[in-house]
Structure 1
Amino acid sequence: MADPKSPVSASEQSLAEVVELARFMEGKRTQRPRLVGPRGETLELPEPVFHLLRQVVTVLARGDAVTVVPVHKELTSQQAADLLNVSRQYLVRLLDEGALPYTKTGMHRRIRINDLLEYKKKRDAQRKAGLSELMQMSQDFGGYSECS
């Protein structure tokens, strides 16, 4: 069995099936989704479980990997840096500047995943707003010509 902390991705062989499953899960539902066991037994899936499965399948269908992390979990600085796609040194600087709250366990910093995800959400929104502003400025100064 694979390590539950390791990212999971769809192999090249299974990617087409995952894409098909993602399309199926996005379709209109008239009944609650069910899980079918190996002997044909069925169990209705609670809505939060189906929602999570749909998110996981959507990410896998894009060819990305997925790791499920409990919300109350604390991450090491390296894990947090990996999640933000930055270097550990850069993350430590963010922590030292107070951009992200953290606790110390001995000499090691621990970052709550909730805090990290909230920071990422704000950072991504700021980046998107900045990019939109740059695009608008470029258009205003004639940087983009109209395509016909």
Structure 2
Amino acid sequence: MSTASLPPSLPDEVAVREADVALRRIKRYLSSHTEEQVIRVVVGGDPDETLAVPRNAIEILARILTHMAAGQGVSVVPGRAELTTQQAADLLNVSRPYLISLLESGKIAFRRVGKHRRVRADSLMEYKRKDDHERRTAADELSELNQDMGLY
């Protein structure tokens, strides 16, 4: 399997504005064409230059544009890509030793290649989704508790 090592592509001001416009148009299109599984995209305004793009690819593009419109860098990592522990730690925005503790505790699946650990990107992202959900749930509970106690 491949190892992903592409640095994020940071958008400049023009790219942020264009991403925002494109994102709004794509969201509007997707919400009004819910049954289409293949979307035809005209390239360069020439009707003869039309691409057939799977809907899920357009949905991924919308996620990329969401981050770009917010001025954030974007990297695309295939789900089956294998990451080094440093790359995985960088994606989670944690230290490498902390990531290794997550691996060794079984919270994130990994395999060994010789003495090195390799983390599947899909396993890492599943952990991130669960962790984000738990954090949101805890924050919601704290907010509700603050409101119940009249502190908010």
Which category describes the TM-score, using the shorter chain as reference length? 0.7 to 0.9
Aligned to 1:114, the other structure's residue is in SS state: helix
Larger Rg: 1
Give the aligned partner of residue 36 of structure 1: 43
Give the aligned partner of residue 94 of structure 1: 102
AA aligned to 1:115 is S
Q: Any stretches of 5+ residues in structure 2 without a counterpart? A: none
What TM-score comes out, normalization by structure 1 length? 0.84
Give the aligned partner of residue 128 of structure 1: 136
CA pair 125-34 structure 1, distance change in 2 beyond 3 A: same
Aligned to 2:14, the other structure's residue is in SS state: coil
Structure 2 distance, partners of 1:12, 1:120, is 29
Please say if residues 40 and 50 of structure 2, whose CA atoms lie closer than 8 Å, have aligned partners that are also in contact. Answer: no
Deviation at residue 33 of structure 1 after TM alignment:
3.4
> Is 1:82 matched with 2:90?
yes
AA aligned to 1:9 is L
Structure 1 distance, partners of 2:57, 2:109, is 30
Larger RCO of the pair (alpha carbons < 8 Å, separation 6+): 2
Structure 2 distance, partners of 1:101, 1:14, is 36
Give the aligned partner of residue 60 of structure 2: 52
The number of aligned residues is: 141
What TM-score comes out, normalization by structure 2 length? 0.82
CA pair 98-43 structure 1, distance change in 2 beyond 3 A: closer
RMSD value, Cα: 2.1
Give the aligned partner of residue 15 of structure 1: 16
Aligned residues: percent identity?
39
Deviation at residue 38 of structure 1 after TM alignment:
8.9
AA aligned to 1:58 is T
Structure 2 distance, partners of 1:118, 1:41, is 38
1:68-102 superposed Cα distances (whole Å, 9 cap, x missing partner): 11111111111111111111111011112222121
CA pair 116-9 structure 1, distance change in 2 beyond 3 A: same
Comparing both structures, which one devotes a greater share of its residues to strand? 2
Please say if residues 81 and 91 of structure 1, whose CA atoms lie closer than 8 Å, have aligned partners that are also in contact. Answer: yes
Please say if residues 111 and 118 of structure 2, whose CA atoms lie closer than 8 Å, have aligned partners that are also in contact. Answer: yes
Give the aligned partner of residue 106 of structure 1: 114
